């Protein structure tokens, strides 16, 4: 796609109020962004675009689409040359220009809003830039919920939860949960909003997923599990990758409560199956050595997601399975501590009797009925 085709397409989509296509045209991750830069040859488009493109296209198509199109080319030029700071600054200018147009229009412009905000988020690189993103998203949310003039079915309010999900996503990327606090307060205070259940399913699922991620980061595992469960059961059956992202958090949270995933569930998602089936097998077998090995092999995947410590806590389930097998094999209510010590030694875990007694004690309240005792002598 050359620049003339790009600008002409912008004009056509604007005239037809085709928000979906305009959103695609202004996305930074689309291949046409690089194609537009070929016309400049070896020249740096970011240096020439503001002059050459404005002279050619200024007022040729309706404002602000002439300026937005030119600004998009400038941002793509900085992205191509990996000038992240400059790209972020120019994308911020583009977003602010779009806000002026968005505030005067109705819901057909929402796909464009999502595209330009996601582009800004993708270019955030440090604390100050993430704070700017949070401010911009909060402003976008206010513009969404402030729409009182559009017909209900065309209201900008239909974008509120998707924008708020972007606020959650941004705060998670910055590892600073308070960044989305202002957006949350804005959403809570909103009035005359459509019922949550009538929002598009994709918006609700995205909202629940990032809300779960936020609760998980705050170690509120109960609320996190509830949010991830809602996201999973409302996620479209064809969206397998999205379900896998949800399960990566939901399965460890369920394991904290002693619930292991069914093999039928794991088989439906190959990537999840590869991660959790060896872990579940080791837990059910009570094989502590195999469990530790699987956990160590998965460390590279669990650590970046913040799952390492949560998955580690399921080690108690593995120990419980082993002790239960020992208890069942003995068939008695009173079992010497040394018997459990022998069970641990069979899987290569050598600990003294006092440590074994400490390990046994919690499991009396978890379904292992009976008593362990120290034999005399």
Of the listed ranges 147-161, 172-186, 262-276, 345-359, the least confidently predicted one is 345-359
pLDDT at 369: 46
Per-residue model confidence as pLDDT tens digits over 81-115: 889 999 999 999 999 999 999 999 889 999 999 99
Residues 6+ apart with CB under 8 A from 355: none
Q: How sure is the predictor about 359, in pLDDT bands with cuts at 50, 70 and 90?
A: low
Mean of pLDDT over the chain: 83
Q: How sure is the predictor about 357, in pLDDT bands with cuts at 50, 70 and 90?
A: low
Task: Kindly give the pairing relationship between strand 371-373 and strand 334-336.
Answer: parallel
Q: How sure is the predictor about 283, in pLDDT bands with cuts at 50, 70 and 90?
A: confident
Q: What is the pTM of this model?
A: 0.78
CA 350 to each of CA 191, 229, 288, 322: distance values in angstroms, whole numbers, following the listed order:
63, 39, 11, 14
Q: Percent of the chain at pLDDT above 70?
A: 80
Cα distance between the two ends of the chain: 87
Look up tokens 């259940």; give the residue.
197
pLDDT at 130: 87
> How far is C-alpha 15 from the chain's CA centre?
35
**When comparing pLDDT for 84 and 175, which is higher?**
84
Question: φ and ψ at 236, to 5 degrees?
Answer: -60, 140
């Amino acid at each position: 796609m050359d620049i003339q085709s790009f600008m002409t397409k912008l004009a056509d989509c604007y005239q037809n109020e085709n928000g979906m296509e305009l959103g695609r045209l202004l996305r930074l991750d689309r291949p046409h962004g690089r194609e537009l830069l070929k016309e400049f040859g070896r020249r740096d488009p970011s240096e020439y675009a503001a002059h050459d493109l404005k002279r050619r296209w200024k007022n040729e198509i309706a404002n602000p689409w002439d300026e937005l199109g030119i600004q998009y080319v400038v941002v793509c030029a900085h992205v191509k040359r990996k000038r992240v700071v400059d790209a972020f600054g120019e994308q911020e200018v583009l977003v602010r220009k779009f806000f002026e147009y968005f505030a005067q229009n109705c819901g057909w412009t929402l796909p464009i809003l999502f595209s330009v905000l996601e582009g800004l988020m993708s270019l955030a690189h440090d604390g100050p830039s993430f704070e700017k993103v949070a401010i911009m998203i909060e402003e976008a949310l206010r513009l969404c919920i402030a729409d009182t003039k559009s017909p209900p079915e065309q209201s900008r309010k239909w974008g509120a939860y998707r924008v708020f999900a972007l606020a959650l996503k941004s705060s998670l990327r910055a590892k600073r949960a308070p960044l989305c606090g202002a957006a949350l307060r804005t959403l809570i205070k909103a009035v005359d909003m459509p019922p949550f259940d009538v929002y598009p399913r994709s918006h609700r699922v995205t909202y629940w997923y990032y809300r779960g991620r936020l609760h998980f980061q705050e170690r509120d595992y109960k609320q996190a599990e509830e949010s991830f469960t809602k996201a999973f059961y409302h996620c479209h059956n064809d969206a397998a990758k999205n379900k896998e992202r949800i399960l990566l958090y939901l399965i460890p949270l369920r394991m904290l409560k002693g619930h292991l995933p069914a093999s039928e569930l794991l088989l439906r998602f190959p990537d999840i199956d590869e991660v959790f089936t060896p872990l579940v097998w080791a837990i059910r077998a009570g094989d502590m050595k195999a469990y530790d090995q699987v956990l160590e092999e998965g460390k590279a995947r669990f650590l970046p997601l913040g799952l390492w410590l949560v998955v580690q806590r399921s080690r108690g389930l593995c120990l419980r399975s082993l002790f239960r097998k020992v208890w069942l094999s003995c068939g008695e209510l009173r079992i010497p501590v040394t018997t459990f010590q022998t069970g641990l030694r069979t899987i290569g875990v050598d600990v003294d009797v006092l440590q074994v007694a400490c390990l046994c004690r919690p499991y009396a309240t978890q379904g292992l009925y009976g008593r362990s005792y120290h034999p005399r002598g």
